Amino acid sequence: MDQTQRDQEIAKLLQSEHVKYQNIDFGEGQGTGGYQRTSMDSLLFGSGLEGLTLLDIGSSLGHFCLEALKHGAAGATGLETSPERIRHAREIARLMNLPAEYIEADFEDYVPEPKSFDVVLCLNVLHHLYEPIGAIRKIMSMTRDRFYLEVAPVKAREVMKVANIFSLWGATNAPLVLLGDTSKSTRAADRTFTFTKKAMSVIVNGHSKAFEPVRFHPSSFKGRWIVEARRRQIDHLVVVAGVTGVGKSTFIERLKSSKELRARFGIEGDFSVASANDVDGLRTGRHETLIYHYDILRPFDRPLHAHPRDPAFHLLSSAKRVTSITLANDPDTLRKRLQSPGAEPNSKKGRKRHAVILRQYENPSFLETWHDVWAAAVAKEVAPSPLEVRLVRSDSDYSAIATVSDLKAMLSA
């Protein structure tokens, strides 16, 4: 369309429609009015968007989708519940000649594919949701690179509405999620839940180890703040796994000292080593190759119950490619290793756990079950990234176990 027609259509939109939530600047003094959100652009887009895809949850009139495209994003999608805002956003994108896409959907019902967007925004939305923690976990799953949450914090006066003066002390610094109290049903989706910064850290970094420690930034909305979470960046994750006592630590030491052994398992260049027990100490930034020690019995006889509920297991989702090396051996060898000098844990709790596991190694179905669930969990967690599976007997030569049938025969020997 020519400039005259465009100006006419912009004027019609501004005069005949209620478009006041976000200020969209059309140039030459024309804009929708509403909240000015441009001060957020440097934080959200300063790390670069060239070639990345973005999802804006609660996109309203589409300011952040449009700005993402201006900053080089390969695609920008807005998700919005309001049919009016969807209609307005599509018209604005057309008038701006920018290919933003908008989906009319409630995010709490939206079912995305894992790691389906590079950057995800959820700004000024969480406190309108009925299941915000589930929404945060969904955002974590669908994010390839980083996400940003704009959060309405817990305030002292809100604590006082639902509790008493004794609850006020230290409440805003505690890991607290506050359920809002409203007497009007029309306000039921307003400040339904609010969060302290400590609570947000627990949800993102305590319940999952897939992201670096969250950062907090001021928001352009008074009294609110931005959570920035970046997924761990691992080019090649080599998971050295197996049951307790199978010899994972010994194998990793051999990998460190033997270039030939590393080459055999496709480990090239610089590498670092981490354990599921100390993953909190993992440095931030890019890892070319990370060798990861993981005991597949971590969930056994613990409240975790299964690998997908283990925060340390989620690190597998943050790698561009994964090599899963599962060490195994026959039950008799495993029992001997657990009973060997120096194998006994130092703590009373650890010794008790070892005793339970030792008895379970006499159960023919125990080892087979845990190897089966481990393999299934890894395949699901890693997808859609490439996965190479290696089954290895923990002997002096680390001989390959050719098939799953061979593995099960050894485990039941």
pLDDT at 166: 46
- The pLDDT, as a whole number, for residue 263 is 97
Higher pLDDT, 213 or 24: 213
Instruction: Report pLDDT for 222.
Output: 80
57-69 pLDDT tens trace: 999 999 999 999 9
Please tell me the least confidently modeled range out of 19-23, 147-151, 238-242, 301-305: 19-23
Partners of 122 in the beta sheet?
57, 149
Q: Percent of the chain having pLDDT more than 70? A: 94
Between CA 323 and CA 382 the distance in angstroms is 10
Q: Encode pLDDT of 346-381 as tens digits.
A: 899 989 999 999 999 998 899 999 999 999 999 999
Q: pLDDT (tens digit, 9 = 90+) per residue, 247-300?
A: 999 999 999 999 999 999 999 999 999 999 999 999 999 999 999 999 999 999
| CA distance linking residue 322 with residue 379, whole number of Å | 10
Average pLDDT over residues 391-406: 96
Distance CA 127, CA 151 (A): 7
Determine the average pLDDT of the residues in 389-413. Answer: 95
Q: Own/partner pairs for 247-252, CB < 8 Å, 24+ apart?
A: 247/327, 247/329, 247/337, 247/394, 248/293, 248/294, 248/295, 248/327, 249/293, 250/394, 251/325, 251/327, 251/392, 251/394, 251/398, 252/291, 252/293
* pLDDT reported for residue 164: 55
Decide: 92 and 27 in contact? Cβ < 8 Å.
no
Instruction: Report residue 334 CA to chain centroid gap.
Output: 35
Residue 125: closest CA among 66, 78, 159, 90: 78
Confidence of residue 110 (pLDDT cuts 50, 70, 90): very high
> For residue 28, what are its two tokens?
């030459």
pLDDT at 35 over 60: yes
Asked whether the predicted pLDDT for residue 182 surpasses 70, the reply is: no
Within a 10 A sphere around the Cβ of 24, how many other Cβ atoms?
A: 26
Q: Which of 99-108, 168-177, 196-205, 382-391 has the lowest mean pLDDT?
A: 168-177
- Asked whether the predicted pLDDT for residue 169 surpasses 60, the reply is no
**Residue 207 binned pLDDT confidence (cut-offs 50, 70, 90):** very high
Give CA 101 to chain center in angstroms. Answer: 24
- pLDDT given for residue 161 in this prediction: 55
pLDDT above 90 covers what percent of the chain?
72
Domains and CATH numbers, the chain: 3-230 (3.40.50.150), 233-411 (3.40.50)
pLDDT in the model for residue 94: 93
pLDDT higher than threshold 80 for residue 307? yes
Range scoring the smallest mean pLDDT among 13-22, 162-171, 199-208, 296-305: 162-171
